[in-house]
Amino acid sequence: MIEKRDNTIMIHTARSTYQMMVGRYGHLLHLYYGPRREDLAPLPELADRGFSGNPYEAENDRTYSLDALPQEFPTLGTGDFRSPLLILRDAEGVLGCDLRFVSAEIRPGKYGLPGFPAVYDDAGETLEVTLQSTKPSLTVRLYYGVLGELDVITRAAMVCAGEDLIIEKAQTACLDFTFGEYERMIFWGRHTMERVPDRGPVNHGNFSMESRRGMSSHHYNPFMILMDPDATEDSGRCWSMQFVYSGGFKAEIEKDSYGQTRMQMGLFQDQLAYPLKAGEELVLPEVIMSFSDCGLGRLSRNHHDVIRRHLCRGPWRDAVRPVLLNSWEACYFDFDGDKILSMARSAADLGVEMIVMDDGWFGERTDDIRGLGDLWYNEARMGCTLSELVDGVHDLGLKFGIWMEPEAISENSDLYREHPDWALAVPGRSPVRSRYQLLLDFSRDDVVDEMYRRICAVLDSGADYLKWDLNRSIADVYSSGDAVPGQVLYDYVKNLYRLLEQILERYPDLLIEGCAGGGGRFDAGMLYYCPQIWCSDNTDAVDRLTIQYGTSFGYPPCTMGAHVSVVPNHQTGRVTPFATRGAVAMAGTFGYELDPRKLSSEEKAAVREQIKCFHEDAPLVMDGEYYRLSDPLADPYSAWVFVARDGSRAKVTAVRTGGADDVRAADIAVKVRGLDVDAQYVIDETGAMLAGRTLMDSGLPLPPATEEYQCYVWHLKKAR
């Protein structure tokens, strides 16, 4: 609910309130974001801050300074020397602007953004606030979307130039806290070890995390939490920001000399210099914000709900995803049509529902150094047409999936020989190679249009699933087209979204799984087009415990691509039990990354049983509430639970991670969360009946281990 009171605006969700006001000189000030309240929060006491400047209208009043007042959309050039959201330069090279409040409009329904992904909700509300600057001539429209029952408020903005301008910094949202001590949590990583939580104090100075890579990246995820120092999974105040954008980003937390804290997020700054002609507009992509005063668990579930119900779209949003077998770790580049069909026959016998043909089916692509860009099916090497292969898989009762890397190009390819200017490269300088490849210039419409044609020529064969991959970062930020360097990265991402939207319009039933060397582009922007994303190229079950744990803070498990692979694991060499690999993968979309023809009879029986269990538990994974029950970075085990929304069912999973010494340990009890405390629950695996309160207070003891990395699964059902 949004309400205006004189010069103040209040936004209410089920359990939170957000307040702002128009200051005495027309600046839009931030008042409050926290537990729900009806009374207005006060502004901080005004005082002469010495070197903090004052608006000219304040005349001799030295106490009123934007340098010490909380703001909704701070800009460079107003006397606020904290980090701004907006920096621009006019035609004369003058930096900065001074935005003043013009109007506020409330309307039903959640706003959308032209050309960019955004949360949707017809039952939501939108607040549109207009700010203007006269010198330079500029209008900024701020958008606030309210999803009240989810305790979610979204923010986006539109910069509208009244004269020629260059935008040099453009962030979407900030939260100003005038007092208090806080901690922050970010999610760092690398290829094959993404989204590791990092929690630390907010100290004086500016803390920033960012991706300079042209994509959200393996290294830092565009999701950030600010919290009370004593916040836990179940208690404490927490605020979050999540960027609905798949390119470079910057997130900052600044504590100033007065002890005030500013949290902000938006586009990556260093390579942005976006030119706007008079009358042109720049969309500042959406930030999802949420607040919880019940700890990190509630905050995560708020994000889970908004993503899976109001960001993911299409027929696959609510559908259980097919159990798939991917060919990559099964055979890498060594396959043809007969091998794919042979694996498909074995997979179908086990209950697998889809086979995915990964890298190596097109052009002269027999290794990493050639063929990218030549998206034509190589019939001579494959021994059949693509339609024949697809039909053969369909005749087995399986769906057919295919891998592509449409944004990349090999120098050893027909496409590069025909159009070397289509690759991102700086004139007169050798380009930076990564994985032996370059990137296509997706800031150019003609390049994207041609790739759309080539992709459709493949998908017209009847494929049911597309794995969309990207295996390098953007280093050479220069276009041979019309875009100047300062707009290349933004236009690249915008055109990527346009291409994905066109594909989904043409193939509305297509399931797209996002991928960027695994989890290098696991972000809310891609989830608007791809309801699942390959969580990591690391399929090791023990490493996946940390990867999926960190990912769960901002993203629902039903979006995490997770597979069972062989041992010793291809990335780590670790040996883990087949049951453990299955239990970990079942906390995601579930599938297999192996050659089913090479499985033992015992492993084949295990696969059949795992697929049966996956389908029985799929409603819990798709729509249940997810609770973290341990910290795998600190505890000798990893545990989690999915709970039905009505509390009638739950699935608890735990994995010992202490290594060889842990085999002898038996003193761990997993305390469950989210149950009906007054109900009795039957444990399917033992027949025991325990109260919900007991399961949450005392927990489920882990039996003594008989092997390393042993897993335990309990299904709880409320007694009638």
Closest CA to 113 of 304, 244, 305: 244
CA separation for the pair 439, 73 (Å, rounded): 35
∠ CA(442), CA(446), CA(448), 5° rounding? Answer: 40
Phi then psi for residue 673, to 5 deg, are -125, 160
| Backbone phi and psi for residue 118, each to the nearest 5 degrees, phi listed first | -160, 155
Is 489 within 8 Å of 268 (Cβ atoms)?
yes
Q: What is the DSSP letter of 109?
A: S
Q: What's the rounded Cα separation, in Å, for the pair 532 and 465?
A: 11
Number of Cβ within 10 Å of residue 153's Cβ equals 25
Closest CA to 320 of 459, 511, 466, 508: 511
* Cis status, amide bond into 136, omega within 30 of 0: yes
| Neighbouring-strand partners of residue 255 | 205, 261
Residue 669 · residue 701 · CB < 8 Å:
yes
Among residues 352, 369, 372, the alpha carbon closest in space to that of 361 is found at 372
Strand partners, 474: none
Compute the C-alpha angle 26/27/29, nearest 5°.
130
Return the amino acid letter for 326: N
Set 364, 421, 603, 631: catalytic member: 603
Beta bridge partners of 701: 669
| Alpha helical stretches, state H, 311-404 | 328-331, 337-350, 379-382, 386-395
Give the β-pairing of 324-326 and 591-593: parallel
| Cβ neighbourhood burial of 685 (10 Å; 0-12, 13-18, 19+) | exposed
Query: Catalytic residue among 254, 523, 540, 595, which?
Result: 523
Residue written as token pair 């695996």:
685
SS3 of residue 157 by DSSP: strand
- The edge-to-edge listing of strands for the beta sheet with 16-22 is 2-5, 8-12, 16-22, 28-35
603 is catalytic: yes
478 in Cβ contact with 396 (< 8 Å):
no
Q: Is 201 left (phi over 0), alpha (psi -120 to 50) or beta?
A: beta
End-to-end alpha-carbon separation of the chain, Å?
A: 38
Q: What is the set of active-site residues?
A: 523, 603
